[in-house]
Amino acid sequence: MSQPAFSVGISFRNPGRFLSLAIQSVFAQTCRDWELILMDDGSMDGSVDFVRALDDSRVRVFVDGFHRNLNIRLNQMVVLARGRYFVRMDADDIMHPERLERQLAVLSREGEDTVVGSAAYSMDHLSRVIGIRPALKAKPLRGFAARHSFIHPTVAASVQWFRENLYSESFLFHRSQDAELWCRTSARTRFVVMPEPLLFYREMDKDFSLPNYLGTSLGILYLATVYSGSRIGAFCSLCNQLTKVWITCLAVAFGKERWLIGRRFRKLAEKDRQRAERILDSILGEERWPCVVTTASAVRTGAPIAVK
């Protein structure tokens, strides 16, 4: 088997109805030179049976029956990857059909010590585009600020880079593994953020989990003490992060979860939103993959699909 250009890695745990859409967007890529690694993390919702039924030699499924957290699963997928480049993706998101092609152009030009990400469209539970998470316009971030370098599921880099810079498997970073990796590697890695949105990122109408947020914050608070550059910098960073935690807790206490999520993205002009919707429709209407979706509404909502 020849080496594919990309290994697309999706770790999933009880992903529900959206996993089929994520997989469909991989099959809809203009760049066909990929393998898809599907790594189960202890699912009990029938998703394992679904992915095992996918009939394509490029799809590799790994199941061990345990729940080990995303940071560990990411490293496992990196070790298993056969491609030249490794691509992150979450199990409920959808890739732009030109994501791999466009990121390949950047990675080929910039070299092996480059991590590339992009802006992303925000979408809701009906796969409707509701906004955009823009790319950073400032110069590359370093130290503690590097935690904001990327929207994590838009990232791609060489498999060799990921193997030399594995995610921390500490439980402290089980929710902030990406932030820890960017802080740790920013001084010696070229970070490139593409301005075009190359991912549809599902967030609005997703339940806001305070325990998950606090788990993320725990790792971020630790990173502030290590990568802020000075004691004064660390103190200021800690105060800033703790203030954010208290504001978030108060917002949740008063039922303002939608306000918290809405702050993460910007609204799109109507013409830009319609253009994004047309791109999304082109993905959802693809027939290049080994599953059949029975109705258009089933595609949009991620309803159960029938396997050939």
Handedness of CA 148, 152, 156, 162 (dihedral sign): positive
CATH code, domain carrying 200: 3.90.550.10
pLDDT for position 306? 36
* Residues 142 and 11 placed together within one structural domain of the fold: yes
Write down the pLDDT at residue 290.
Answer: 54
Question: C-alpha 95: how far from its chain's center?
Answer: 10
Domain boundaries, position 24? 6-204+265-307
Q: Does residue 111 sit in the same domain as residue 166?
A: yes
DSSP reduced 3-state for 167: coil
Question: What string of DSSP letters covers 74-101?
Answer: HHHHHHH--SSEEEEE-TT-EE-TTHHH
Q: In sequence order, which residues have a C-beta less than 8 Å from that of residue 210 and are 6 or more positions away?
A: 248, 249, 252
Q: Which region among 18-32, 53-67, 207-221 has the lowest average model confidence (pLDDT)?
A: 207-221
Provide mean pLDDT across the span 2-11: 96
Residues 103 and 246 in one domain: no
Assess contact for 196 and 99: CB atoms under 8 A.
no
Residue holding tokens 């593994």? 177
* Helices 210-227 and 177-185, packing angle to 10 deg: 20
Nearest to residue 99, comparing CAs of 123, 116, 112? 116
Judgement on whether residues 227 and 197 belong to the same structural domain of the protein: no
CB 149 within 8 A of CB 136: yes
User: Quick one: what percent of the chain has pLDDT higher than 90?
Assistant: 79
Helix (H) or strand (E) holding 48: helix 47-52
What percentage of the chain exceeds 70 in pLDDT?
90
| Closest listed residue to residue 251, CA positions, set 238, 239, 237, 264 | 264
Contacts of residue 191, Cβ cutoff 8 Å, sequence gap at least 6: 114, 115, 117, 140, 141, 146, 149, 150, 182
Q: Which of 179, 160, 166, 169 has the alpha carbon at shortest distance from 114?
A: 160
Same domain, 127 and 171: yes
Contact assessment for residue 130 and residue 53, using Cβ atoms and an 8 Å cutoff:
no
Last residue of a domain, one of 239, 257, 275: 257
Q: Judge if 113 and 131 occupy the same domain.
A: yes
User: Considering its fold, how many domains does the chain have in total?
Assistant: 2
pLDDT range class, residue 308, cuts 50, 70, 90: very low
Q: Does 146 reside within a domain? A: yes
Structure tokens at 64: 């061990």
Q: What is the pLDDT of residue 209?
A: 86
* pLDDT, tens digit, 9 for 90 and up, residues 150-171: 999 999 999 999 999 999 999 9
Within a domain: 1: no
Check whether residue 182 and residue 287 sit in a common domain. Answer: yes
Residue 22 is encoded by which pair of tokens?
């994520």
Residues 77 and 225 in one domain: no
The answer to whether position 235 is within a domain reads yes
Pair 240, 164 in one domain: no
Instruction: Answer yes or no: do 177 and 223 share one domain.
Output: no
Q: Is residue 222 part of a domain?
A: yes
* 156 shares its domain with 272: yes
Angle between helices 270-284 and 19-27 (to 10 degrees): 90
Q: Looking at the domain assignment, is residue 196 inside a domain?
A: yes
On average, the pLDDT of the chain sits at 90
Answer whether residue 300 is part of any domain: yes
Per DSSP, what are the bridge partners of residue 129? 123
Q: How far apart are alpha carbons 271 and 251 in whole angstroms?
A: 33
Examine the pLDDT at 298 and tell me if it is beyond 70: no
Task: With residue 300 as reference, give the H or E element that holds it.
Answer: helix 296-301
Cα end-to-end distance, the chain, whole Å: 25
The average pLDDT across 1-5 equals 87
Q: Does 38 reside within a domain? A: yes
What's the pLDDT band for 141 if we cut at 50, 70, 90?
Answer: confident
Q: What is the pLDDT of residues 197-243, one digit of tens each?
A: 999 999 865 667 889 999 999 999 999 999 999 999 999 999 999 99
Q: Find the mean pLDDT for residues 263-274.
A: 92
Structural domain includes residue 127? yes
Q: What CA–CA distance (Å, rounded) separates 303 from 297?
A: 8
Task: Tell whether 141 and 252 lie within a shared domain.
Answer: no
